[in-house]
Amino acid sequence: MLNAIMKSVELGLLFALMALGVYITFRILDFPDLTVDGSFTTGGAIAAVMIAGGYSPWLATICAFLGGLVAGVCTGLLHTKGKINGLLSGILMMIALYSINLRIMGKKPNIAILNMDTIFTGANLLVVMIVVVVVVKLLLDLFLRTNLGLALRATGDNERMIRSFGANTGTTKIIGLSLSNGLVALSGAFIVQQSGFGDVTMGVGMIVVGLASVIIGEAIFGAKTVFRATLAVILGSVVYRIVIALALRVEWLDASDVKLITALIVIIALVVPAARRSAKQKSQAHKRTAELLSGTGPKGGVS
Amino acid sequence: MLQINQVSKLFNPGTPDEKIALVGIQLHLKPADFVTVIGSNGAGKSTLMNIISGVMRPDTGTLHIEGAAVGSLPEFKRSQWIGRVFQDPMAGTAPNMTIEENLAMAFYRGKVRGFGLGVNAAKRRMFKEQVARLGIGLENRFGAKVGTLSGGERQALSLLMSTFTSPKILLLDEHTAALDPARAELITQITQDIVREMKLTTLMVTHNMEQAIRLGNRLIMMDKGRIILDIDETRKKDLTVERLLGEFEQISGKKLADDRIVLG
Ligand SMILES: Nc1ncnc2c1ncn2[C@@H]1O[C@H](COP(=O)(O)OP(=O)(O)OP(=O)(O)O)[C@@H](O)[C@H]1O
Ligand SMILES: [Mg+2]
């Protein structure tokens, strides 16, 4: 059991960077970016090919990050310069990346790097990942407090306002998408090195996993400040892995059900708070109506 | 300072939905002019503001700010010279960011936004000083998210944000219309103080006739996309609401139709 939890924590941290990427687009930019499924694989593919080719695993990891940055820029250009709907821009990039990823992998659907040196060789995976995730989190927090970072956040919060203060929101969107997909690709590169192989389908459904992590994290740990929110996303990613591990202990569920379970988690997390809000509002309305009819309580209207 | 020459704007031209928003607008503002703008619903006041700020492009005509042609510049580039406060208190601030973060973004109007910290100790002190001048206690709630402020507080903050880098032109489009009378008066007061102190060239749309007469040094009245009345400082001094409404009826041949009109 303890072993299973340790495994979940490891996986959670490996995927946490992907979740942070999803947080940047979905939460900060308010841009539902589906490039993620493609760019996760891009990162994995670049890392797998380079490591298999004998390059340093750290160099391979950095190149994977750069590959993700480029993918994000492409989505951003489609949306801002091509004026294509955001959702569609992401889907187009995701599809295009499927072919590109196969090209990167030399048209092989998977590449094994089991016997090669990775960044985890001779190191404790958990320790490496804690260090990486904490460093990335703190850098991201810092970035979001810079002038550029503030403009990026305002682009998602009130685009019209930040444009009226002279920020080019096309550029801030491209930067956000780029950074997001860079982190997603980085996560893909880590997963390849942990599992020992890269697969062209490894990114399928990643966007929903990322969303699940973001939503779980926010629900449990809150998102009052940027510092809290990014921490919540990372912890959300870990909790998600623990939930999946527990679910898989149920006898009639098996590994192929993971995507369904993930979708259900996201659906529940989206539906329940909304339903709760509307129920609360309704009961409030009933109470107030009764008060108004009986002439007790404060008079209506806002002051 | 601001020169608008022969600006026209049509919506859906050549269709049954055609709307003439502006026709041959000619308007020159001198530095430190404070012009109030009144007019019936759909007269084109907001469209004029949107064309000056670059949200929309005119169909014909030219725009110059301090002699430089700005008509073809995108909105975000023009923003370095133009401060704006919108009617909707939600529109001018980022609700999920703190007061100081909002101020930091406004402070960088027209500058390159790089990797410098948005808020540091020195800037925070400077922002606090500025906010304190509003006299509504916002300086004590610096870490609060702007979404938690009332409409009036937000509008005061928007006003400060849009002016504290001394824009060449300040555009106010009914920025007190969504507030209750007491708060509207407070914001009007703050507007007057800031504009006077910073000598800002200002264009202010209002539905309050008394305010339009009391504030500023020039008053223009719009109807059906045209400027139908332009009253300068000397004539504005002894203008009354009745006389203003009378002039409107005489020129346009109808009563001023404005669903938000406030006489004074
Ligand atoms: N985006 C748009 N598309 C089509 N028609 C528009 C658009 N914006 C404005 N109009 C039309 O242009 C005309 C001028 O509108 P504008 O908003 O400038 O009037 P206004 O003077 O600000 O009126 P109000 O006092 O109601 O704010 C109106 O007939 C309006 O219906
Ligand atoms: Mg208007």
ipTM of the shown complex: 0.88
Higher pLDDT among residues B248 and B24, named by residue: B24
pLDDT for residue A302 is more than 60: no
B42 CB less than 6 Å from ligand 1?
yes
- The answer to whether the Cβ–Cβ distance between A165 and B117 falls below 8 Å is no
- B19 Cα to the center of ligand 1, angstroms: 8
Separation of alpha carbons B252 and B43, rounded Å: 12
Task: Say which of A145, A151, A162 has its CB closest to residue B117.
Answer: A145
In a domain, A42, yes or no: yes
Q: What is the reported pTM?
A: 0.89
Helix (H) or strand (E) holding A245, with range, is helix A226-249
B44 CB less than 6 Å from ligand 1?
yes
Closest C-alpha to ligand 1, atom 29: B42
CATH number of residue B20's parent domain: 3.40.50.300
DSSP B79-130: TTTEEEE-SSTTTTS-TTSBHHHHHHHHHTTTS---SSBSS-HHHHHHHHHH
The pLDDT value recorded for residue B259 is: 67
Distance from the Cα of residue B142 to its chain's centroid:
25
Phi then psi for residue B222, to 5 deg, are: -115, 150
The whole-angstrom distance between A165's CA and the closest CA on chain B is 5
In a domain, B260, yes or no: no
In a domain, B206, yes or no: yes
The pLDDT value recorded for residue A301 is: 47
Average pLDDT over residues A245-254: 88
Q: Which ligand is nearest to the CA of B50?
A: 1
In a domain, B261, yes or no: no
pLDDT digits (tens, 9 = 90+) for A17-60: 999 999 999 999 999 999 999 999 999 999 999 999 999 999 99
Separation of alpha carbons A283 and A281, rounded Å: 6
φ/ψ bin of A34: left (φ > 0), alpha (ψ from -120 to 50), beta (otherwise) = alpha
**Cβ burial, residue A120 (10 Å; 0-12/13-18/19+):** middle
Percent of chain B residues past pLDDT 70, beyond the cut: 98
pLDDT for residue B19 is more than 60: yes
pLDDT for residue A300 is more than 60: no
Tell me the average pLDDT of chain A.
Answer: 93
The first and second tokens of residue B174, run together, are 């009914």
Q: How many domains is chain A built from?
A: 1
In a domain, B258, yes or no: no
What domain range is B126 assigned to?
2-112+119-252
End-to-end CA distance of chain B: 31
Side chain identity at residue A80, one-letter code = T
Separation of alpha carbons B103 and A56, rounded Å: 46
What domain range is A91 assigned to?
2-294
Identify the CA nearest to B220 among candidates B39, B10, B18, B1: B39
Nearest ligand 1 atom to alpha carbon B222:
21
Residues of A in contact with B114 (CB under 8 A): 146-148
pLDDT for residue B260 is more than 80: no
In a domain, B264, yes or no: no
Nearest residue of chain B to residue A168 (CA atoms): B76
The first and second tokens of residue B172, run together, are 């106010």
Q: How many domains is chain B built from?
A: 1
Nearest ligand 1 atom to alpha carbon B174:
27
Tell me the sheet residues that pair with B230.
B220
- B186 Cα to the center of ligand 1, angstroms: 28
In a domain, B19, yes or no: yes
The pLDDT value recorded for residue A113 is: 94
- B46 Cα to the center of ligand 2, angstroms: 4
Distance from the Cα of residue B171 to its chain's centroid:
2
Nearest residue of chain A to residue B115 (CA atoms): A146
In a domain, A301, yes or no: no
Separation of alpha carbons B176 and B194, rounded Å: 15
In a domain, A302, yes or no: no
Q: How far is CA A167 from CA A148, B96, B112, B123, in A?
A: 9, 18, 9, 20
The first and second tokens of residue A119, run together, are 């960044």
In a domain, B259, yes or no: no
In a domain, A300, yes or no: no
- The answer to whether the Cβ–Cβ distance between B53 and A150 falls below 8 Å is no
CATH number of residue A132's parent domain: 1.10.3470
Query: Of A161, A226, A228, which to mutate for an interface test with B (greatest number of B Cβ within 10 Å)?
Result: A161
In a domain, A171, yes or no: yes
- B27 Cα to the center of ligand 1, angstroms: 19
pLDDT for residue B199 is more than 80: yes
In a domain, A66, yes or no: yes
In a domain, A299, yes or no: no
The whole-angstrom distance between B31's CA and the closest CA on chain A is 21
Residues from A contacting B (CB-CB < 8 Å) are 143, 145-151, 153-154, 157-158, 160-169
